[in-house]
Structure 1
């Protein structure tokens, strides 16, 4: 929902600087919002079915085909510039198709990584691995910024070529499971300090008594993704309007939010491995994120150093829980012992959690577009409210986990004298 004004463009026959119909009218932000939501809604819809296909198809073929098709539709979007296409429906269709084929990605890659690593240090390993999402966001922003002032079509064609090439590399070199290359299997079901939560949370979606783990993490991710994707789509425009940066600098500055997300994802993984409480880690980070978002809106425009620090902190606190839920938590639930070796269910569990979260990803930018005309303060109030709702999903569970931990510690201390008696 944000575009960079080319420095050499001078338009005098309309109230906007854009000269590419139909985005050259006063409602250009709404039109960009429609395109954004075509992708996000299609992604959310397709994700619920993607996991089922991922279970039944070889992950290497499934992931490769998705990457090649994603490269195709991304490039077709950019070719609209060279083919002189001015139909809104064309761009909406390309984004919707792109959203559908990109649903092949996340369940497949989480399943592959989950197959290789057991629960012991999964939070840390997947926290480091998940940094690729933020690196991709940063790279995409830089590529778009490099071409947008000369030939905006290349801002889509170049990423399309990159993902297609990586799809070919994936086809030839991806190893889905350790047993495919005669490696020992990781221990998915050993009780360690890295359990995702107490026993009521570690039961899987396919176990009769434990839908709550998947349901609660899914709802938490819905609100967490709402906040994260609102920042992804609207942060450059906010920085340009409020912090008085020029558009190019605002786009570059917004990448710091993703840098913070890398640090937050790793931190969340390490803490959850050490404490054994995935839900508690998410809840604490979300609780701290709420006042930080308020503080960023209040003082974030007071100089470059303040903006940098607040973007890093907010990025870590907002994207940390998001990263933890979509990686380590999904892998923990999808490889639980009650599946009795059906590790392919990991793809479905990941798809359910991320699909629910993607609903929030579609709603957030849309709400921001509707609310932003009333003032940026109201947009931040909406984000803080979503953050609080994400915490409320876990209130009862986290409280129960803390009480159980205290009770266990207290019981162990009471048992210590008996050793001396015996």
Structure 2
């Protein structure tokens, strides 16, 4: 129980309940009255939007699991059965499929917002690490979900991506066979992926709870990156930010619902509407769009280095491209959090953003000609940004003067 609690039970029943399980007190202190910087912009609403997206995915996923059959002979037909015969099945499946893409849209915006405003800097390192862990778990969950429709792209994506493990020395092949449940992608693979795809969202929800807990220890970062100096710098989370978050959610739901109702298949690959056939290889195997930047990095490494062959080297770069995010708090040692006050960082961040979008495009392009060369250049810049540019900028950059407080920043804008 908090020493500074403002919650007072209204009656004897509420007091009895509060003495034994203070849920209402907790909600009032940590959700409603939680002091939040008064200058948060709409980029901060994407945390709440992601919680909403996770809820949509879990609810629609549970309903779909009631009708899906995880068997290679029936999986493809069971998805068609859901879309055609189950009451509301077409919309539930559309919201789940579109929801995966919308989840990653919100997730990438949330990550890039954190990178620009320095939300990974002390004392928020654990908050950032838990966020990257959520990103990893979400990628694993989405990949396994992509396999479940058992179309051509699903099955072949499973073949290509799981084959990554075979390049790892000693433990690679046993891991591959454990994941697939055999020597090739088949019925045991589908059963494993279905089980894990159903389980992992609940693991993600648990890590999200830790993520929110880790946020409430130091409090929110803010656009100017200045610590809260007094109560004048903050407002209660409710009603100010609950209303702002709800407004952001409604705006986000407009394209979400449009895609689900009018273009639910636009983000899918045509080959995935043909049942998986291990004897017929698609002309161009691509994963879903949200994996493309990292897939481009994997394909860009087509050369040997010393005693490391191209396959293992590709896997190393592929894994490092995600794992490097865990170390971002220690790679960028600048004392200034917000990119708004870092003139050089601002431009390099923009270049990094363009580079990431280019990797997304190159991941979908054929692995030939100029596309391979561009993928190599973009991959090199991806790592240079983290390992060279950020550490050097931390030492040579002269940041702009910071406001003395959040209130000064807000009032300065009001008077400008």
Q: Report which of the two structures shows the higher radius of gyration computed on alpha carbons.
A: 2
Higher helix proportion, which one?
A: 1
Query: Could you state the TM-score of these two structures normalised by the residue count of structure 2?
Result: 0.36
Query: Could you state the TM-score of these two structures normalised by the residue count of structure 1?
Result: 0.36
